């Protein structure tokens, strides 16, 4: 819930907007699942509102989940590896980061990168005899997840034999998907079914978020209890300021209408991973039809002068944490709108998941969009499949010619300039008030790489005074990718690619030794596919290729931008 709100000149328009919601009985209509709240067309709305009653429904599933966890622990599994993307991986990622593994439960690892270094790292880290592999995909066809599955199926089979492999696998998917059929055919140890009336980014409180977390020993009943409490508060219709979801959603919607569309999250250190879940929920739900809120997560805090007048700051902290208090005071005194929320206890993440889902749905009303579809996501997927088709036919990608090559850096751009440095300068000079810069890193998600990318985004922010985001490919394709192609075209995109030191083959089928493509090929095709999709959407984008030495390459990029 919002503890304090510094809304300055926006207080009155927010009050007026709440009055309209009340007059039109919007909250009651949301709970009645009236799709006309958002659009007159029920497609991808009427069948996407199951998240409203998830906390109550999942309470009935607790005994089944508990029994499964008991059996897994009895079998001696020590680690669980979740294979998933976007809505199938981000809520478990948050809960994994926030909670410690309870004694006697399974350590949870998450793979959501097609970078071969990330795949091989987890293969080397885990013991196949003690590992439970969770294959998580709502559609049951997610290309990254199915590729991960085939790789780790062969890995387990090589160690234990085909007959014993299935018991090391668990599927989480919707009813009737190809993954459910595959799990039955290969005799997986268990299958948990989600709800087809719930979109992926609204599935945190479904089996997609709760089953992996329960394996870690997180007290799921407490998570659901707080979510259920928040759902009750979000039913209030008399005083909408007392309805946390309605109030927050109205603030987000009204400020976005008035140009404050960069929702910048400041989080207590322990809560930092929550920003990744919020990023997907907000970006994919609102970034469409030439509109959208840009969630800015993980951006290092700077002085007030580096922020444009398009920022709404949201400070979410643990009770007793005063880490950012001085910063908050400075930003308040500089006149930025700001919301403060305090998490009463760590299990209140259940209430936070529901609060932000409800608020995002309400914000969509003011933006006049459908917050439950993702109309632009397929463009990058389609381009990727076209590129992979050429690769499979020719055994190589179509040749690309860089605009410039210098010091091991290759630049791909349509900008005409006399040198690489001039090209980068011209690219940044395009930034206008209200724009943002997005770094898209198709690199191995390592600690050193993350630190270098943070330095780069700070450099870019100081140079341009624009909001910055960083996303690892292909993770961001299932998160901010929709907003990148569906918003008003105010992004400048810097794609960074590399040559892989090692690669890993993707089996054509589970149990097969034949392989048509590798993870390195898939990642490269995804990078090229998104580059082409962004260009086709009229977005401003450059690509920087750094070779095999990623660390050195990122340092060179920073020098060039300086």
- What sign does the CA torsion over 459, 462, 464, 468 have? positive
SS3 39: coil
DSSP 60: T
Do the first three CATH levels of 53-218 and 377-561 match, i.e. the same topology? Answer: yes
CATH of domain 2-32+238-367: 3.40.50.10490
Average pLDDT value for residue range 524-545: 97
Q: Which secondary structure element, helix H or strand E, spans residue 338, and what is its range?
A: strand 338-343
pLDDT of res. 4: 86
Backbone angles phi, psi at 193, to 5 degrees: -105, 130
Closest by CA position to 96, among listed 217, 1, 191: 217
**Residues listed for the chain:** 562
**What's the Cα-to-Cα distance from 498 to each of 54, 115, 495, 518, 542, rounded to whole Å?**
42, 10, 10, 15, 14
Give CA–CA dist 361/371, Å, rounded: 6
Please, how many CA atoms are within 13 Å of residue 558, restricted to the half-sphere of its CB?
Answer: 18
Q: Is the pTM of this model over 0.85?
A: yes
Q: Which fold has domain 377-561?
A: Rossmann fold (3.40.50)
- Look at residue 179 and give its three-state secondary structure: helix
Asked whether residue 526 carries a pLDDT value surpassing 90, the answer given is yes
Q: Give the gyration radius of the chain's Cα atoms.
A: 23
Two structure tokens written together for 336 = 């930025």
What are the boundaries of each domain within the chain? 2-32+238-367, 53-218, 377-561
pLDDT for the residue 324: 86
**Domain 53-218 class, CATH top level:** alpha beta
Which helix (DSSP H) or strand (DSSP E) does residue 19 occupy? helix 11-23
**Confidence class of residue 297 from pLDDT cuts 50, 70 and 90?**
very high
pLDDT one-digit tens code per residue, 23-75: 999 999 999 999 999 999 999 999 999 999 999 999 999 999 999 999 999 99
> What pLDDT, in 10s, does the model give residues 351-395?
999 999 999 999 999 999 999 999 999 899 999 999 999 999 999
Q: In this structure, are residues 467 and 437 in contact, taking their beta carbons and an 8 Å threshold?
A: yes
pLDDT tens track for 312-352: 999 999 999 988 888 889 999 999 999 999 999 999 999 99
Q: For 126-237, where are the alpha helices, taking DSSP H only? A: 143-160, 162-165, 178-185, 207-215, 220-233
């Amino acid at each position: 819930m919002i503890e304090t709100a510094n809304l300055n000149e926006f207080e009155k328009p927010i009050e007026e907007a709440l009055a309209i919601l009340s007059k039109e009985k919007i909250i009651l209509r949301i709970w009645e699942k009236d799709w006309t709240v958002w659009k007159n067309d029920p497609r991808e709305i009427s069948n996407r509102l199951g998240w409203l009653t998830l906390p109550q429904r999942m309470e009935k599933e607790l005994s089944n989940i508990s029994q499964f966890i008991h059996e897994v622990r009895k079998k001696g599994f020590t680690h669980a590896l979740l294979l998933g993307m976007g809505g199938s991986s981000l809520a478990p990622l948050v809960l994994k980061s926030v909670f410690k593994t309870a004694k006697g439960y399974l350590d949870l690892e998450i793979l959501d990168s097609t970078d071969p270094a990330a795949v091989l790292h987890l293969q080397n880290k885990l013991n196949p005899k003690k590992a439970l592999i969770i294959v998580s995909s709502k559609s049951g066809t997610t290309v990254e997840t199915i590729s991960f599955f085939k790789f780790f199926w062969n890995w387990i089979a090589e160690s234990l034999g085909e007959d014993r492999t299935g018991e090391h696998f668990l599927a989480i998917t919707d009813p009737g998907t190809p993954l459910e059929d595959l799990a039955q055919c290969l005799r997986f140890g268990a299958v948990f079914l989600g709800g087809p009336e719930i979109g992926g980014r609204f599935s945190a409180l479904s089996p997609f978020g709760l089953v992996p977390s329960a394996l870690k020993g997180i007290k799921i009943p407490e998570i659901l209890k707080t979510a259920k409490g928040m759902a009750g508060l979000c039913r209030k219709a008399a005083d909408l300021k007392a309805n946390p979801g309605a109030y927050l959603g109205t603030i987000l919607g009204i400020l976005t209408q008035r140009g404050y569309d960069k929702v910048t999250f400041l989080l207590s250190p322990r809560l930092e991973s929550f920003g990744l879940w919020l990023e997907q929920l907000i970006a994919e739900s609102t970034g469409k039809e030439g509109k959208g809120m840009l969630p800015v997560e993980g951006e290092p805090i700077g002085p007030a002068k580096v922020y444009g007048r398009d920022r709404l700051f949201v400070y979410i902290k643990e009770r007793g944490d005063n880490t950012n208090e001085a910063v908050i005071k400075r930003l308040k005194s500089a006149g930025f709108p700001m919301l403060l929320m305090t998490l009463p206890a760590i299990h209140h993440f259940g209430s936070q998941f529901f609060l932000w889902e409800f608020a995002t749905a309400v914000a969509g009303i003011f933006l006049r969009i459908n917050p439950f579809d993702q109309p632009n996501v397929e463009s990058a997927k389609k381009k990727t499949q076209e590129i992979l088709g050429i690769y499979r036919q020719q055994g190589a990608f179509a040749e690309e010619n860089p605009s410039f090559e210098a010091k091991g850096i290759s630049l791909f751009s349509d900008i005409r300039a006399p040198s690489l440095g001039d090209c980068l300068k011209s690219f940044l000079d395009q930034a206008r008030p209200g724009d943002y810069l997005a770094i898209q890193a198709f690199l191995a998600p390592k600690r050193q790489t993350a630190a270098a990318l943070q330095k780069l985004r700070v450099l870019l922010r100081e140079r341009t005074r624009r909001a910055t985001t960083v996303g690892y490919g292909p993770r961001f394709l299932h998160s901010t990718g929709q907003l990148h192609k569906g918003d008003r075209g105010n992004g400048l995109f810097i794609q960074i690619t590399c040559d892989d030191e090692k690669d890993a083959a993707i089996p054509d089928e589970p149990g097969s030794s034949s392989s048509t493509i590798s993870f390195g090929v898939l990642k490269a095709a995804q990078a090229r596919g998104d580059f082409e999709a962004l260009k086709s959407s009229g977005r401003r984008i450059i690509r920087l290729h750094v070779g095999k030495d990623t660390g050195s390459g990122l340092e060179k990029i920073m020098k060039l931008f300086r």
